[in-house]
Structures are given as C-alpha cells and as structure tokens.
Chains A and B, each alone.
Chain A
C-alpha cells in the first residue's frame, strides 16, 4: 500500500493548528482613481481595492487557524505615480515581499524594477497587453484580465448573438487607442466587422451639473447619425468620458456594448452565480457597499496567495510563484470553472463576465469557441503568439 501510494505520487497531509502562527504580510499599493465618473454610482470609495484585500485576508485567516498561518494587510495609498517609489521602500522596510498592486502600467513597471529580487507583485488593475507581452516580468502576476481578454469575451458573445457589425465610438485618450486595438483584433479573430470608427474628443468638460441630461440628450443622437448599417454601438472609453451617455440616446435604436451598456469585466457587484452570492454577502456585510472589479481582483490576489501558502506551507514569494505556475495550482473564484495561471505570461486564466451593471448577462468563453488546451485560452493572446520572455 505504501509503495503504491508513493508510486502514484501522492502526498499526505495532516494539518493541525499550531500555537505560533506564521505571519505572512501582504502589501496593498494603490493609487487614487478618478472621482470624475459619469455616474455618481461609480465614484470610488475610500477603501476601493483595499476592502477586497482585507476580505481576502479574513478568508485566508479562517483557513490559517487550521494551518498556522496569519495574513496581515499593509496598506499604502499613493497620490501620484511618483510616490510609488517611497511607498514601495516603506513596504520593503516593513518586511513585505508580496504586494497587491493597483497601479497604472508605467507605475507597475517602475515598481517591478525597484523591487527586491525575492518579492512579487500582483497586478489587479492595469489591463495593458504590453505588460503581458514585450514588457512582461517574472515578478509580476497578472490577476486582472488584459484588454484583449475583455474584448475577446465581449466579441464572442456579440458573434454568438449574430450582431457582427459594430459602429465603434472611440475616446481620445491613449488608453482608448489600446482598447480600440484590442477590439479590432477581436473582430478579426471572431469574424465581426467594425463598420466605422468615430472619435469622441475629451474636451475636459466636467461630469457633474444640475441639468446635464438636457445637452446630452441632444448631442448623442447627432453624434451617432449617418453611420453605415450596424448591429451594435461599441463604446471604447476607458476613462469614462462619454460611454455612459450612449445608451438610449443613439440615432438608431441599437444596443450599446463595450465601455457602456453590456460591458466585459472580471467582476460586478450584480454577479451571484456559482456561489458568488456568498462572497457578495460577506463583502457587503463588512464594507457596506458592493464589490467592484478592483475589489474582487484584490480579493482574488489575496486568495491566490493564501491558497499557495496553504499548499506549500510557506510564505516565501519564490515558492508561491513556483506553485502558482505549476499544474497543481487552481483557484475557485465563483465563475463556474477553475482559474489557473498562463505559465508563459503569468496571466490568470479566467472567464469574462458580461454585465449590464444589474446582473450577469452572459459569461465567456461562449459555447462553440474551441481550443486545444482550454477554452479559457480563446480569450486574449495565446501561447503561440506571445512575445513574452519572462525575466
């Protein structure tokens, strides 16, 4: 029996609570997000992203009671990208080697460069492809989906729905160019067509006013007039400048998708399937608000750390990273399937939720989009096309 067990490569576990828990410190390095949102409902809370990490630590600590591990959160909120360096130094000085990062791509890369060799960053918000491709780093794990993953998730659904003609309305920010690229690529990949691209210039207008809808109601129909035949308006507006103004105000009665209307995301406060209700309940009970996409990514990063720490019985970043990259690693995240890491770019494989902001409309990958390894890899850039060489 013993020999059989060894031959089968099994391992035995008998965990019991120890008197002295091993402390695992996890930093949350987060930037201020714009309060200039189109909808008042989207103004970020003071504990944006942090709350997710805190809940993840509570969950990990319940498990930690049995495994003798204790997880602490060290919060560092920075005003601008320039403060990241000092905050990183403070975290390092406090003995933090695992850092959940809510940073822009540039700030994240700078942090990666300034990091001690043994430390690990968990990217929970920057969607940039370059971070997973030509600029990829061995000390960054990407929990947030990339723009290509989000665009592919939406594109699969629109194609499944037989709405292949898209009128793209694009913002004027550099991020919008990158997002537009992701949608153009998704259209080619799945057989959709962008019938025309229009640019909505950000003239720096404020979002709040006492009677704003009056102008919007007149502007948006005119802006979307005289377009070629299309099935959907595709809003490409990562900075929340105009996307939310499109639904119900288009020249022709067409649904809006992308940055408004039906949007692809890693999480939404309205998602409740596959037991997600339990997580939403826990979050609301503790923080008195809904769990947004950044909160969820922070929670998930913390859970990935917890899961890897439980299995490896270690808090050492290199051990955790090795385990997360291995075939044994999987994490449950209330999205119906196991999530795992793409070894070549350290991007978390995950389904993409399609939400209308009230509930989950669908979840991609859609049925029929096949892949030789896992359907999850129909979303985003796949291994054969990767430019990432981890270093």
Chain B
C-alpha cells in the first residue's frame, strides 16, 4: 500500500512538472432521470463540459472498456441508447426489453446484461451484432446487475423477491438464490472477486456475500444519530481497487457511509447532496462522485481526505454516474 502510495505521489510530482496539460483528466457522465439528459463533467477542473439531450428517463449508464461509447438505459423509450464519447452525440440504440433500468458489461466487453423490470427477465445483448442473444428468468422486478471480475458470475437483484440471483454466465442458469433484505437495488464485487456486496434500500442494510461458497457472509447496518431507521436507504456501492474501503450512498439520509471493507465497520458518514443515489470513482480513486437526485447536483468527495469538497450543479434528478479516461 505504502509503496503504491509513493508511486502515485511520484507520478503526481512528475505530472506537476508537465505543467497544465491534464494527463490525469477524466470525464464523468451523469444521467439525469427527469432532465432527459447526460451531464458530462471534466473531473480535473470539476466543471461541466456539456449537457447532452438523450432519451426519456435515463437511469442506468455504462461505458465500454475503452471509454469510447456510453450505453444509456432510457426507460420511458424502452431503449438502450448509445452515445459516442468523442462527438457526444446519440448514435443509435440497442434492442432491449421494455423499461430497461440497469445494465452491466461483460469484462471482455462483448455482452451487455440488462435488467428489465416489467417482465422479470435479465436480457443479454451482443454488443457487436447489436442483437438480443437470450433471456434469463429471475425474480420480481430485477434491478441491480454486477459481473464478477473473471466474467464467470452474473448477479441480478430482484426488488420484490428480495434475492440476489447468482447466474453462471456460461450456462446462463441461476446457480444460487440468496435472500437479502427488502428491495435490493445494487450489487458490486470486490475487484479480487472475493466478496459481493448487495444494498437493500428498504431493508437499510448491505449484505456481504461469499460468491464462492454462494452464501451470505455478513450484514452491515447503519445508524445515524437523530435519523430514523426508515430514512437510511442504501443504494450505490463503490469499493476501492485494493478492497480496503467501501462507500455506500444512503439515499434520503443525504450521506455517504465510509466503511472499512475488511472489518466492515462504518468509519464515517459524509454529508452530501439530497437523495444520494449512485457513486463512481475517478480511475485514480482520487475522487468519488455522487449523483444527488433531489438537489440536482453531484458531490465530489476527496477520497484520501474523506471530505466532500465540491458540489457541481447538473441536470434534473441525477441518478447514475460513471467515469472514464478522457
């Protein structure tokens, strides 16, 4: 860890010699659910570059591995739109099922997995051929989607069934159903694949799952003085690459919980904007960006200092956020 830190420090020092050229500049994309737009942010200057009009009710967004293309679930258009990252124009759409909400890409970038809430299915789309290649029946109101780092296991959470469905990506069959707390919204693997974290919005907990044993390992709960249990609603989860720290967006509690991802102890609550939904690190993990639905802004958290340092106004009801190299 220390060696790595030194390396980063050295890199930063070298960078500063380079003057103003933003070698480490990244670009964040924020989906605005009610704004029907994507806000593009320069994470070096922490400023909005552009706002792009897209389809209706954009929520889940995902980038291709090279960052050249953004996939946007435009729920009310029953479509997944594609946005060219260079030209920032909508280039077309993928054939999704009705009302797509969240999606994830296979590590090789070849397949998109989409949760279609209205028909209790996970839909598979071939990225190159731009066509549907299969469906997997899951529980009621599929939502959260995650794929293991080795690409072997797909996870879908179903909001009304309250399960994490573990799916073998080769056979496309469910291999385990793990009961979690009410309304599971989001799933995230540790980068080494050792743990799967699932947030339960209404239950108010994080379930930590052992993907190999396919069983629930532990539950993380939250307590904020002066706040009722109902107001704490975990949604987005981001875990650092080294697997040591996790950040959990707590929805209407307007806070992001900082968790020691090894001991699972909550270390701190960071006050951010209202109804904080999804989160994304910059690739260097210097910043964590949070999409705050009700306050129409993105909070920027300095990851090392564990402080919210800036609020960037975006479109109406920001929902999802992803970051890519520029």
A-to-B contact residues, CB < 8 Å: 5, 8, 10-16, 59, 62-63, 66-67, 275, 278, 281-282, 303, 307, 310-311, 330-332, 336-338, 371, 373-376
A282 to B117, CA, bound (A): 10
Enumerate chain A residues within 8 angstroms of B182, measured Cβ to Cβ: 307, 330-332, 338
Enumerate chain A residues within 8 angstroms of B202, measured Cβ to Cβ: 330-332, 337-338
Q: Is the CB of A376 within 8 A of B230?
A: yes
Given contacts A67-B177, A338-B229, A374-B230, 19 further A-B contacts (CB under 8 A): A10-B216, A12-B215, A13-B215, A16-B176, A59-B160, A62-B139, A275-B141, A278-B117, A281-B118, A282-B118, A330-B203, A330-B204, A332-B160, A332-B182, A332-B183, A332-B202, A337-B202, A338-B203, A376-B230
Q: Is the CB of A14 within 8 A of B215?
A: yes
Enumerate chain A residues within 8 angstroms of B230, measured Cβ to Cβ: 337-338, 374-376
A278 to B161, CA, bound (A): 14
Q: By the criterion of a CB under 8 Å from any partner CB, how many residues of chain B are at the interface?
A: 38
Q: Is the CB of B214 within 8 A of A278?
A: no
A80 to B214, CA, bound (A): 53
Q: Is the CB of A311 within 8 A of B229?
A: no
Q: In angstroms, how far is the closest chain A Cβ from the Cβ of B283?
A: 32
Would you give the 0/1 interface string for B159-170, flagging 1 where the beta carbon is closer than 8 Å to chain A? 111110100000
Q: Is the CB of B139 within 8 A of A66?
A: yes
Q: Is the CB of A66 within 8 A of B161?
A: yes
Q: Is the CB of A13 within 8 A of B181?
A: no
Asked, given contacts A12-B216, A16-B177, A62-B120, whether A374 binds B140 with beta carbons under 8 Å apart, the answer is no
- Asked if B270 is an interface residue, CB under 8 A from chain A, the answer is no
With CB as the reference atom, state the residue of chain B lying closest to A339: B202
Q: Select which of A13, A63, A336, A371 is within 8 A of B178 by beta carbon.
A: A13
With CB as the reference atom, state the residue of chain B lying closest to A14: B215
- Asked if B89 is an interface residue, CB under 8 A from chain A, the answer is no
A367 to B182, CA, bound (A): 24
With CB as the reference atom, state the residue of chain A lying closest to B143: A275
With CB as the reference atom, state the residue of chain B lying closest to A371: B228
Question: What are 20 sample pairs from A and B whose C-beta atoms fall under 8 A apart?
Answer: A10-B216, A13-B178, A13-B215, A14-B178, A15-B176, A15-B179, A16-B177, A62-B139, A66-B139, A66-B161, A278-B99, A282-B118, A331-B182, A332-B182, A336-B252, A337-B233, A338-B202, A338-B203, A338-B204, A374-B228
A330 to B204, CA, bound (A): 10
Enumerate chain B residues within 8 angstroms of A62, measured Cβ to Cβ: 120, 139-140, 161
Enumerate chain B residues within 8 angstroms of A371, measured Cβ to Cβ: 228
Q: In angstroms, how far is the closest chain A Cβ from the Cβ of B259?
A: 15
- Say whether chain A's binding surface is mostly helix, strand, loop, or mixed: mixed
Q: Select which of B163, B215, B216, B218 is within 8 A of A66 by beta carbon.
A: B163
- Asked if B217 is an interface residue, CB under 8 A from chain A, the answer is yes
- Asked if B219 is an interface residue, CB under 8 A from chain A, the answer is yes
With CB as the reference atom, state the residue of chain A lying closest to B233: A337
Q: Is the CB of A8 within 8 A of B218?
A: yes
With CB as the reference atom, state the residue of chain A lying closest to B175: A16
With CB as the reference atom, state the residue of chain A lying closest to B98: A281
Q: Is the CB of B215 within 8 A of A330?
A: no
Q: Is the CB of B177 within 8 A of A15?
A: yes
With CB as the reference atom, state the residue of chain B lying closest to A338: B202
Q: Is the CB of A311 within 8 A of B140?
A: no
Enumerate chain A residues within 8 angstroms of B215, measured Cβ to Cβ: 12-14
A66 to B219, CA, bound (A): 22
- For window 79-136 of B, CB contacts with A under 8 Å fall at 99, 117-118, 120
Q: In angstroms, how far is the closest chain B Cβ from the Cβ of A5?
A: 7
A14 to B140, CA, bound (A): 19
Q: In angstroms, how far is the closest chain B Cβ from the Cβ of A9?
A: 10
Enumerate chain A residues within 8 angstroms of B141, measured Cβ to Cβ: 275, 278
Would you give the 0/1 interface string for B137-167, flagging 1 where the beta carbon is closer than 8 Å to chain A? 0011100000000000000001111110100
Q: In angstroms, how far is the closest chain B Cβ from the Cβ of A291?
A: 15
Asked, given contacts A330-B203, A338-B202, whether A375 binds B216 with beta carbons under 8 Å apart, the answer is no
Enumerate chain B residues within 8 angstroms of A13, measured Cβ to Cβ: 178-179, 215-216
Asked, given contacts A13-B179, A275-B141, A332-B182, whether A375 binds B228 with beta carbons under 8 Å apart, the answer is yes
Q: In angstroms, how far is the closest chain A Cβ from the Cβ of B125?
A: 21
A67 to B163, CA, bound (A): 10
Would you give the 0/1 interface string for B173-191, flagging 1 where the beta carbon is closer than 8 Å to chain A? 0101111011100000000
Asked, given contacts A10-B219, A12-B216, A338-B230, whether A278 binds B177 with beta carbons under 8 Å apart, the answer is no
Q: Is the CB of B217 within 8 A of A63?
A: no
Q: In angstroms, how far is the closest chain A Cβ from the Cβ of B295?
A: 15
Enumerate chain A residues within 8 angstroms of B233, measured Cβ to Cβ: 337
Enumerate chain B residues within 8 angstroms of A10, measured Cβ to Cβ: 216-219
With CB as the reference atom, state the residue of chain B lying closest to A9: B219
Enumerate chain B residues within 8 angstroms of A310, measured Cβ to Cβ: 162, 179
Enumerate chain B residues within 8 angstroms of A307, measured Cβ to Cβ: 162, 182
